[in-house]
Amino acid sequence: MNIVVCVKRTLDSETRVRLDPRGVSIDAHGARYVVGPHDEFALEAALRTRAKVGKGAVIVVSFGDGEVEAQLRACLAKGADRAVLLKGVPTADGLRTARALASVTEIVDAPLVLAGLRSADESRQQVGPMLATLLGRPCVTGVVDFELEDGKAICRRDAEGGDETWQTDLPAVITVAKGALHPGSPSLRDIMGATEKPLEERSARPGQSRVVVQELEYAQARPGVRILGHGPEAVPELIGLLLRPPAGP
């Protein structure tokens, strides 16, 4: 049973974000790129599921430019068996990304497709359920843990109102949130070995983007912290500030 994991190259959340002078894109110079944490949880879940099932391959797929190869190699170093780089230019239109992914044979054939709940950069949180919908498959989002049983997946997810257990038919798409799994770091040997694993480039045909970026702006910065003092003596002034409408509780 093959498991496909969809991953995205994103800016590391510790990176300082700089906008380019035209204000329509991020200045990527010197920025650090990673596979976001939710995608790493998805990959870890895929590797553990494959280990339990005892057969099949874990295939990582990403839609993006040639730079994505570095992140796909990182996934191979962590234990994925092969990678597909779907070459194209992602935009703010997530449906376009979902459509590009929906054309990948490995995804069409896989009983289980995993993706991170959301990406670390744009956090649009939509490609997983869109992909499932385009393929006519069920999708359970924000899953923290799952088991495969008799052609179904039993999924646990946190929702408002409780920890839910869902049963879904396979094939399915599952988006993965933080659970009990803590992905480990690959050894140097794994990293070296990853260069030997197959990574196939294909061109994507996602169609036209229908979401246009008009402008980027820095979020309004806070005016700067006011240190009210040292120790509990500063508390009365804080109370005064908090109870002053409308900022007070």
Partner 1 sequence: MSNVLAFVEQRHGVVRGAEGVLAAARRLADGRGGAVHAIVLGAPGVEDEIEALGPQGADEVRVGCHPGLETYVPEPFARVIADAAGVGRYGAVVFSATVQGRDLAPRVAALMDVPLVTDVIGIHPEEDGVHLVRPIHGGKANVHLFVDATPVVFSVRPSVVPASDGGAPGVVHTFTLNEDPARWPSRRIAVEPTSGDQDGLARASVVITGGRGMAGPENWGILEDLRDAFGGDAALGATPSVVDAGWRPRGEEVGQTGQIISPHLYLAIGVSGRGDHLVGMRTAGTVVAINRDRAASIFDVADYGIVGDLFEIVPRLTRELRKHST
Site for partner 1, residues 88 to 147, rule: CB under 8 A: 92-96, 98, 120-130, 132-134, 137-142, 144
Nearest to partner 1 of 148, 154 (CB atom): 154
Residues 151-180, interacting with partner 1 (CB under 8 A): 154, 158-169, 172, 177-179
Q: Using the rule CB under 8 A, is 230 a contact of partner 1?
A: yes
Q: Using the rule CB under 8 A, is 245 a contact of partner 1?
A: no
CA-to-CA distance for 193 and 188, rounded, in angstroms?
A: 8
Nearest to partner 1 of 192, 228 (CB atom): 228
SS3 of residue 48 by DSSP: helix
Nearest to partner 1 of 39, 106 (CB atom): 39
- What is the total count of residues that contact partner 1 (CB under 8 A)? 85
Among 30, 54, 232, 245, binds partner 1 (CB under 8 A): 232
SS3 of residue 49 by DSSP: helix
Residues 42-71, interacting with partner 1 (CB under 8 A): none
Q: How far is the CB of 173 from partner 1 (least distance, A)?
A: 11
8 contacts 64 by C-beta, under 8 angstroms: yes
Q: How far is the CB of 184 from partner 1 (least distance, A)?
A: 14
Among 21, 29, 225, 245, binds partner 1 (CB under 8 A): 225
Residues 6 or more apart in contact with residue 176 via CB below 8 angstroms: 38, 41, 42, 45, 114, 115, 116, 117, 143, 144
CA-to-CA distance for 6 and 100, rounded, in angstroms?
A: 12
Q: How far is the CB of 35 from partner 1 (least distance, A)?
A: 13
CA-to-CA distance for 27 and 7, rounded, in angstroms?
A: 22
Give the residue from 212, 220, 232, 243 showing the smallest Cα distance to 96. 212
Give the residue from 140, 131, 196, 192 showing the smallest Cα distance to 170. 140
Q: Using the rule CB under 8 A, is 187 a contact of partner 1?
A: no
**Residue corresponding to tokens 């991953």:** 7
Nearest to partner 1 of 71, 168 (CB atom): 168
Between β-strands 152-159 and 162-169, what pairing exists: parallel, antiparallel or unpaired? antiparallel
Nearest to partner 1 of 83, 146 (CB atom): 146
Q: How far is the CB of 198 from partner 1 (least distance, A)?
A: 30
Residues 16-35, interacting with partner 1 (CB under 8 A): 17, 19, 26
